Amino acid sequence: MDIETRRDSGRARAQGMGRAALRGLGLALVALPGAVLGFTLSLVSIALIPIGVGIVTTPWVLTGVRAFADWRRVLAAEWGGVRIPSAYRPIPADSNPWARTFGMLRDPATWRDLRWLPVDMTAGFVTALLPAVLVLYPLEGFALAAGLWRVFPDGYWYGFVPVTGQVSALGAALLGLVILFFGHFFAPRALQAHFRLTRSVLAAGQGELAERVRVLTETRRDAVDTSAAELRRIERDLHDGAQARLVAMGMDLGTIEMLLDKDPEKAKALLAQARKSSVDALAELRDLVRGIHPPVLAERGLGDAVRALALRLPLPAEVTVELGGRAEAPVESAAYFAISEVLTNAVKHAGADRLWVDLHHAEGTLRITVTDDGKGGAVIGAGSGLAGVERRLGTFDGVLAVSSPAGGPTMVTMEIPCVLS
């Protein structure tokens, strides 16, 4: 049993050595030209940004570099068991080339990719090729010992062994055997070292993780502050609105009770006033509930809630919904109120004649686009409604992009990572 176990272990190790050699050779042959091409095109495209050409080409080039890096992440996980998370910031699919270019250039992951490419074409190439060298180079030594040395009448160097005859060729075979012995143990480790080198450059650093924690802390604080402000608003609206009307209605009912026998006509007038107060209080409570979580959103989902919202606008609005299910309730609520805020801004400030709203879900992201044909000039700044929308989306790791040139049109794109059920 012990002999059989050793035999199986040796067979498995030999297979691992062969796989590492073939994978490393294929990786080296593909990675070197890919890294050189990606790095060269990236430098040229970024250098052309000042004259405008790079604004168009850079998003395409960097997208290709990201695809190349993601492919290497997949190989690292499948061939080496090395996990390298992909941490690119999402870029709205409908953003213009200017926003896409500078959105990518502001992403630290982009600069990690560009630092990784020179490493991959040098040290990465060597570490990928090393398993193949450890396994295939000994075959040359064995071929020399088998008679290949006769093809080189002037002698041939195999490693540090000068091959000039059969004896020295046997020395080359011995050296090849030693290399193969080391390759038996170290070829898979060399490929593993290649993937670890890739991870050391492509993975997010401590500084970026600290920045990520800071952003999440700020968005959480914003969410807490927003919730506290919302609770104060609800309390104020209840106190000044429905509660005051209900108190007045109670007082009217007390007066009616005293006047029923003495002055029926006066009691009847007060009853009508009390009825009106109850209707107004009910309307205010409904508005308050709609401001907290619209019933149509809870019952029928985000698409129908946005359609109902569009029907209440003073401008004609076209709503397109392509959702294969429903997101979690907090995500739907955040998306609904973000859309409501953007539409309100468009009605108040854009001078638009028509609005368009598009909702769809793709690649694990809810994408929302609100477009108007107004005068443009919308910006995300302190004190603007769009800044509040950005903070609301940031709580869910969402992003906001605005394209609003002078003269219009204005396109506001929102993306929230989520899954539909």
Q: Rounded to whole angstroms, what are the CA distances from 281 to 230, 244, 246, 275, 287? A: 20, 9, 7, 10, 10
The CA distance from 317 to 346, in Å, is: 11
Q: Is the pTM of this model over 0.85?
A: no
| Tens-binned pLDDT, residue by residue, of the chain (421 aa) | 455 555 555 566 666 667 777 788 888 888 889 999 999 999 999 998 888 888 889 889 998 999 898 888 888 888 878 888 777 777 766 677 888 888 888 888 888 899 999 999 888 888 888 887 777 667 766 766 676 666 666 667 766 777 777 777 677 777 777 777 776 666 778 788 888 888 888 886 655 555 555 655 665 555 555 555 555 655 665 555 666 666 666 776 777 777 766 777 777 777 777 777 776 666 666 655 555 556 677 778 888 888 888 888 888 888 888 888 888 888 888 888 888 888 888 888 878 888 889 988 887 888 888 888 888 877 776 556 677 777 777 777 788 888 777 777 888 888 888 888 7
CA 288 to chain centre: 35
Give the tens place of pLDDT for each residue, 289-322: 555 556 677 778 888 888 888 888 888 888 888 8
Residues 248 and 278: beta-carbon distance below 8 Å: no
Altogether, the residues listed in the chain come to a count of 421
Residues 221 and 394: beta-carbon distance below 8 Å: no
Strands 365-372 and 410-417: antiparallel
The CA distance from 362 to 365, in Å, is: 5
Q: Bridge partners of 417?
A: 365
Residues 321 and 303: beta-carbon distance below 8 Å: yes
